[in-house]
Homo-oligomer: A and B are copies of this chain.
Amino acid sequence: MDEIDRNIAIALQQDGSAGLAELAKVSGLSVSATAERVKRLEERGVVRSWRADLDPAQVGCPLLGFVFVALRPGRDDAAFRRAMSRHEHVLECHRITGPWHFLLKLRVADLAALEAFLDEELRAQPSVERLESLIAIATEKETALLPVAPATEEE
């Protein structure tokens, strides 16, 4: 992961449809060397996948919510974790510091769908003790573009 790899990764993150010719300019290498780099980035798992970024509103999930979850003490949380991982409306599920145990990020169609999720999926979990939810009124920024750090050690 040297400077060249980082530049390629940054470019691919912004535009996954960039051609090798374009990437070659960014990297300063030849086209074939650039192709090698891209392949290696995939092999090493730096590039996990290629995806189309969709507009949430246009695919029917305009409502964004966050839910804090506290689980009952001494209760196995495996079932809860599995349920969250499976559920397509749960975009994120993090074990967090602070008074709560988990923080969920949700995408749903509307408030009715949020209510249904809270009642039928979360409160239905035996290990769930307490919930606190909030919704986004507006989104100033929502990106998946990661800050790529300016090189530390291993190349």
Contacts and interface: CB of A to CB of B under 8 A. Distances in A.
A73 interface: no
Copies of this chain held together in the complex: 2
Contact of A1 (B16, B58, B135): B58
For chain A, which range describes its interface: under 10, 10 to 19, 20 to 34, or 35 or more residues? 35 or more
Nearest to A108: B147
A36 interface: no
A75 interface: no
B59 A48 contact: no
A94 interface: yes
A84 B149 CA distance: 18
B54 A92 contact: no
A53 interface: yes
Ranked 3 nearest A-B pairs via Cβ: A60-B149, A12-B52, A17-B50
8 contacts: A9-B52, A13-B54, A15-B50, A47-B52, A66-B103, A93-B139, A97-B135, A103-B134
